[in-house]
Structure 1
Amino acid sequence: AGLTITLFQPFRDFEGLPEPQRSRAFDRAERKFDVMQELGTDLMLVCSSVSPVSLGGIDRAAMDFHELGERAAKRGLRVGYEALAWGRHVNDHRDAWEIVRRTAHPNIGLVLDSFHTLARRIELGSIRSIPADKIFIVQLADAPLIEMDLLYWSRHFRNMPGEGDLPVRQFMQAVAATGYDGYLSLEIFNDQFRGGSAKAISVDGRRSLVWLMDQVRREEPALDVAIPPMPDRIWVGGVEFIEFAADRQDAGQLGSLLRMLGFVEAGRHVSKDVTLYRQSEINIVINTERQGFAHSSFVVHGTSAYAMGLK
């Protein structure tokens, strides 16, 4: 139905293992390759190992990935390597790239994740020198700046680009400077999304990507950013009105409360059950429509302020 599986993930604790764990890791990889071929996808993400038995060393990891690349190539598959911010030996995209570079295999590439790079405040200029064809996919997430365990922060507090405090725009500028034009994957983990509306989250995700790439293009006009032209920014000068969703009974009680506070009924919509109350420059709208978003909000939350108008 027009959907494509762009990435199969994650494959954990692969590189730098002693025997017999090393042989078992390759057996696990083969079974993952079986699943990928059943699903019709060609790219697998390997995240840097956190295994307590894994051994360090760039060359050791590169040898493991070269063998994995050979196995993947026989099936027409590719493997991307990602540096987890809490990886045991590799927790920096610069080390992950050096492993990929030394692997020197066309079926092994790099996965860049904004959270893992920005959470460790890694210098972003290093991304600009990575060949675009060795970046297999880019994962994006923002987050509020909170001092806590990296793993817990990652699993529970990620949000859309532009909704947190991390310099995601600067990260994406560095990626765009390589000439990368592949998929941008939103990897957002937080407790609210797990129970949220899939449609609303997908719309918000697309909006965040368009916004992000517009910011990148405005900051570095020379970069080739393939998004439609966006209108000039507008600046919010304040709140024009607050709108409440209610049924007719609650609307009457809310209206009485507003009148006690000095508001007056200033108008009613010509065709909808919407009433405007005003006090000086403060505008309160009460919406009792039985259809539409206001009614849906009332059904879920009861009488509440559900919207605002900005000026």
Structure 2
Amino acid sequence: MLKFIAKRLLTLIPVLWGVVTVTFIVMYVVPGDPVRSIAGERYDEQTIEELRAELGLDKPLAVQYVDYLWKLARLDLGRSFVTRRPVIESIRERFPRTMLLAFSAMLIAVVFGISIGVLASSPRFPWLGNSLMTFSLVGVSIPVFWLGLLLIYLFSIKLSILPPSGYGGGSIQYLIMPAVTLSFASMATVARVTRASFLDTVGEDYVRTARSKGLGDIMIYGKHVLRNALIPVITIVGADFGSYLSGSVLTESIFGWPGLGRLVVQAILKRDFPVIRGAVIFMALLFVIVNLVVDISYGIADPRMRVGGNGE
């Protein structure tokens, strides 16, 4: 198991280095001058060049890249061009709000997705199978921004029962619509995978043996089928949770949720390169850590993964 974990950890190094390098290069490829965006039209050329030197943007690109890697090695993400505030402080302030949204979305996706999938796999509810396929297709096809705007129109404008945007100190009223929007596609996928996995597992020999011994459906499904059928679901949920953390930009922007995603959007509009780089790298780190945990969980649930991971 330790060899399996060590191998997974080693694969993270080139991934993170690639994210850092690509993010750094993209910042200098996109059109626009961050210094002029910060200075506006109030300053002359001499002042702009002094500001450029102060921010370290007058150095060759290779030198800036090496300096940035050295700062990252010391866990220094730099300072915002706009506010001059350390980037790590902005991330520390926004991260708990994004985590709250991500955990809420994951909870909705897991509870409702698995419940729908289990019900749809039961022969007592054959109509649920076709309904589930339709729901899954619709769920993964609806754009996030369209679903978010639809929920705002229904529950805020028409029914006036939920606030359209904001944080509200993490109040559940402000959390419901962003969490549902973020979880909808994942919930449909979890339901579909759960149903397919349950149908495959129910046909296994050990399930038929358990039935021949007189075990009831509750015991068979609860003790034998559930654990094995949910192994593929672990992968789906883990991957989606990583996407909740790194892909909540649209959801947070639509609902005015002050998390990391909205921080990135605001930084892009202001061309605040250190904040963009820091937030993207931080979210990429979270994504690979979540996927590492999923790999380890998958290896615990299915020992064959550990054997494959060790190359034995």
| TM-score between the two structures when normalised by the length of structure 2 | 0.22
Higher strand proportion? 1
Question: Which has more helix, going by share of residues?
Answer: 2
Q: Which has the larger radius of gyration?
A: 1
Higher RCO, 1 vs 2 (CA within 8 Å, ≥6 residues apart): 2
